[in-house]
Chains A and B, each alone.
Chain A
Amino acid sequence: MENLIGLLVLVPLAGAGALLCGGRRLDRGGPWLGTLAAAVSFALGVVLFADMLGKGGEERTLDVTVFQWVPVGSFRADVGFHLDQLSMTFVLLITGVGSLIHLYSIGYMAHDERRRRFFGYLNLFLAAMLLLVLADNYLLLYVGWEGVGLASYLLIGFWQHKPSAATAAKKAFLVNRVGDMGMSIAIMLMFTTFGTFAFGPVLTAADRAGEGRLTAIALLLLLAACGKSAQVPLQSWLGDAMEGPTPVSALIHAATMVTAGVYLVTRSGAVFEGAPDAQTAVVTVGAVTLLFGAIVGCAKDDIKKALAGSTMSQIGYMILAAGLGPVGYVFAIMHLVTHGFFKAGLFLGAGSVMHGMNDEVDMRRYGGLRKYMPVTFVTFGLGYLAIIGFPGLSGFFSKDKIIEAAFAKGGTEGWILGGAALLGAAITAYYMTRVMIMTFFGEERWRPAPSPDEPSAEPAAGDRAGGMPHPHESPRTMTIPMIVLALGSVFAGGLFSVNDAFLKWLEPVTGHEEGNSPLGALTVTAATMAVLVLGVALAWAQYGRRPVPATAPPGSALTRAARRDLLQDDFNHVVLVRGGEHLTRSLVYLDHKLVDGVVNGTAASVGGLSGRMRRLQNGYVRSYAVSMFGGAAVLIAATLLMRAV
């Protein structure tokens, strides 16, 4: 079994290597080869899972050290894996959803001439993400962490000929690097505190490190999590990341990579539990982001950007739950898994709609599509019901638990967090209903496809450019993954909740405490239902009962701000981009005029050689002799000085 863990990472890595270096020969079979690598990896995951189920709850952990990576003095980083119930959950999610999305991409990317490379990058992503969740120390986790960042960079910028895609890719990488700074310093602080950064020793010895130190480490880890999981204040890259092909948005920017921050916080539980102030910071970030993302999601007309806002918001729920400590860990991960199903499904549905609509992304140009794309409509619809928390579907179970746990925090804090979570649920119901209505109901507001010169088009647009769209159902390779994910969206939450199965599965790793909610479980559920109905009704009143205008109305100040991601980009632009440009420009000027000048000047005046210097700079090397003479003088003086001393 131990060897299988390494293989789990190695198979997609080998796939990536073959696809990226294999040359044109692999152009035709490449997509299937990539999908096969993902599927093999999933199969290995299932074998390991079956093996794990055969053991008792406390003996399910597997540790393997493959080799010493960086041994320098007391600094020891190993390439070693740690497989327990928490990492197992991620392995199955990553390889399972990953395989489905590989399959979907075969159809979606069929017309792209660079699809071999696309599958290579997808395989690279799988390998890096698996490394991230399987690493047994923080430095190796960091390798996976940056590895998924690289894959994300390559895939967001996959259509590099579009300047907007290249810019979005760079932005994602840079914002993530700010988070990575936190990760780097956190690891250094662990090393100076504990002399190691392996999970086992750090987490067992955490309680002896003192609250101040733990708070520092925890806050640095939170910064890293904010970058990767697009949480306020490092959330600005996620909306732009939608420049990537839609399967990428589904896999990386919805189901898996962006949830890495939740994994990090949960995995480092012992550190956060010893640092209550840091936990407060975590829940604050979660609560703020869940509202921030939801508000942005309401204002976007681009279907992918609306879903991106929603992703941000849902991860906010998970971060909030993880920040609550043992009361919330299990529910954070449970919501993470169910969200993986329904959000990936929603994105794939959006991709299917775009595929049939000449790559149109503006929902104001959709409408009435349920007749033309029945499979997409039904699967998307089920995902919609799951995300808003319709009773019995996946999202209902997982989100309800988080709201309950938030109230259980107690005191004013509990009321604020619970209230935010409830409000978020209402807004979720509103914006998702809006997406649903604008896309599948109402009248047809289609327009002719953009001309091929317009660089915004996704690849398939070239064939059908110029005409009105002819919406049609997508091919089998695309609909099958959508159906499977829809099944997950419907049943996963329920299955997890039978006999508290998911709780019992994870508890040996994360621990669990029942919260004391000031409101009963039933009250919370009732309140959630009430806000759900409210949100849906409001959206229905606004978009269902009246025709949707094809161009967006000006809207209120809040709407306008939300359309611009609540002005965060404007802030970044003014402060960081402009400020940075001024800084570097003046430094370039100063380096030339000041540093160069002062050094040259000092050298000239000290040696009394300024006249000769100028001649030297004109290229007369015979002045070499003169400078030698000057040097000899300095030298004699120095020798005399030494004697004197």
Chain B
Amino acid sequence: MSFPLLTVTAAVPAAGALATAAVPAARRAAAKWTALVFSLATLVLAGVQLARFDPDAAGPFQLTESHAWISDFGVRYELGVDGIGVVLVALTALLVPFVVLAGWHDADPLEPATPSRRWRPTQGFFALILMVEAMVVISFEATDVFVFYVFFEAMLIPMYFLIGGFGDRAGERTEDEAAAQRSYAAVKFLLYNLAGGLVMLAAVVGLYAVTADQLGHGTFSLTEIVQARGSGRLHFATVTERALFLGFFFAFAVKAPLWPVHTWLPNAMGEATAPVAVLITAVVDKVGTFAMLRFCLQLFPGASTWATPVIVVLALISILYGALLAVGQRDIKRLIAYASISHFGFIILGIFAMTTQGQGGATLYMVNHGISTAALMLVAGFLISRRGSRLIADYGGVQKVAPVLAGTFLVAGLATLSLPGLAPFVSEFLVLVGTFSRYPVAGAVATVGIVLAALYVLVLYQRTMTGPVEESVRAMPDLRVRELAVVAPLIALLLFLGVYPKPVTRILDPAVEHTMSQVHRTDPQPDVRVSNAEGAK
């Protein structure tokens, strides 16, 4: 038996969570370092995955593992990665160390902790982060629908405690008010995702029922179902396929989130600390869009095509609505949350455009959005921690007192508005062009999003960073070494992937082509044939 690399990649952060939780109460620093070391070990394992992954190999999944689990119900512990999975595992493993480092002081007790206290916030905070990482990683690796479902739902539990248990300094609010709002946000997050999950559970059971009926044995194995469908042994009635598709899609749309089931995100990202907000939008939410590609499209290609027009419209609404709402926000973190809703609209639009460029762009978008939002949100978090307020109006003239902070904020903001030369431009343009080649009107309308993005980013920058120096920010220190160590690598990555995205697209593309072939769609052809000779002129 070969080395179970995928299992280990998920097991290491899980073990790290236990180890961090076990650190004695008084030794907070030791807990932080434990968490950091385990998250870095996970990053190394993700690197090994990338190195051992062969983009050109035949077959959909690599590094596969398969064991019987609950044989009565045909549940198998099956893992495997395609190009999209392996890249998203790497993104997760890359971002978590930054999340840990950025949140270094977020869970320090406000007053010196009394040794007798049982509750250990610092240990808990970092253990929960690693727990989320473990569950996200295994969700990206699972090729058994049931295994995926279990972890897809289970990650709600640590997330719930991260959102409800830790927050920014209260600012102008009283501690009680802040706690009440946090708990509201956490419950809203839980309810929305639980509702989605339950609908999905029904569909998962339904899928089992259909396979049991037609194959003689129930199965949740993605590979087996896809094969059986390809060979004609498994056939979904149209109504069944659509119902099952909707069950899956609803859960993923809540998680992604797509308009109109998006409203939990601004609350959750607003109330959580900035590193947790990054965990939500850059890591956890990606499971939703990832699962659309992996499960919705591959299990139910017919229904996916059937639902496309509606989903494209919902995605367009998300893009414009999210951006307009971002323009109207007065709270920095909520603004970034609405911007993310707009960006998730682009990702979903790209997936359902059903073109190589659209899906290739959407998968690349997941990576780039993860990095750019992490950079923007974390710098915003550093800013907020200095002043103790999330309100845009409480800032002004920061660039004069903290030029490095302002500079990194601007670069992260420019990435968010997809400035050419930075990574998100490539993916956004691919999504647009991929959409345009199938749905010209939708592609053109989505382009309005680039104007709105410039508006919310530049207005945010202008109001917080420029103008006369506000009295309250006069003594604000510039970025510290730890903070710079978080931001600088992210910005370097944004620049690198903006100029040379090929290392990532090379891994993603074969997987995208595979998905396209699953849904039996080919790219539209250009109207005018241009010969190579003319191209060479």
Contacts and interface: CB of A to CB of B under 8 A. Distances in A.
A584 B433 contact: no
Contact of A181 (B198, B263, B448, B459): B448
B95 to A, nearest CB: 23
B110 interface: no
B203 A584 contact: no
A645 interface: yes
A74 B436 contact: no
Contacts of A191: 433, 436-437, 526
A166 interface: yes
A174 B209 contact: no
Interface in B179-219: 180, 183-184, 187-188, 190-191, 194-195, 197-199, 201-203, 205-206, 209-210, 213
Interface residues of A, number: 87
Contact of B433 (A75, A79, A180, A619): A75
A180 B417 CA distance: 13
Contacts, number: 238
A161 B451 contact: no
B465 interface: yes
B230 to A, nearest CB: 22
Contact of B329 (A163, A209, A588, A635): A588
Interface centre among B440, B462, B528 (most CB of A within 10 A): B528
A630 B534 CA distance: 65
Nearest to A213: B527
Contacts of B247: 638
Nearest to A140: B420
B530 A205 contact: yes
Nearest to B206: A642
A200 B502 contact: no
A641 B206 CA distance: 9
Contact of B184 (A169, A591, A617, A634): A617
Main secondary structure of the interface of A (DSSP, over half): helix
* Size range of the chain B interface in the assembly: 35 or more
Interface in A442-457: 455
B397 interface: yes
B447 A181 contact: yes
A208 B528 contact: yes
B206 A74 contact: no
Given A200-B536, A599-B263, A617-B184, A72 B505 contact: yes
A201 B535 CA distance: 4
A157 B466 contact: yes
Nearest to A630: B198
A187 interface: yes
A195 B447 contact: no
B260 A174 contact: no
B312 interface: no
**Which 6 residue pairs are nearest across A and B when measured between Cβ atoms?**
A195-B526, A631-B198, A73-B356, A584-B328, A638-B202, A166-B466
Interface of A: 20, 67-75, 79, 139, 142-143, 145-147, 150, 153, 157, 160-163, 165-167, 169-170, 173-174, 177-178, 180-181, 184-185, 187-189, 191-196, 198, 200-202, 204-205, 208-209, 213, 455, 580, 583-585, 587-588, 591, 595-596, 598-599, 603, 607, 613, 616-617, 619, 621, 624, 627, 630-631, 634-635, 637-639, 641-643, 645
Interface of B: 160, 180, 183-184, 187-188, 190-191, 194-195, 197-199, 201-203, 205-206, 209-210, 213, 237, 239-240, 243, 247, 259-263, 321, 324-325, 327-329, 356-357, 360-361, 397, 399-400, 407, 414, 419-421, 425-426, 429-430, 432-433, 436-437, 440, 443-444, 447-448, 450-451, 454-455, 458-459, 462, 465-469, 499-502, 505, 509, 513, 523-530, 534-537
27 contacts: A67-B500, A74-B356, A74-B523, A147-B420, A157-B466, A161-B468, A163-B466, A165-B466, A166-B462, A178-B451, A184-B450, A192-B524, A195-B528, A198-B535, A204-B537, A205-B530, A587-B321, A591-B321, A595-B260, A599-B260, A621-B190, A624-B194, A627-B191, A627-B194, A635-B198, A638-B205, A639-B205
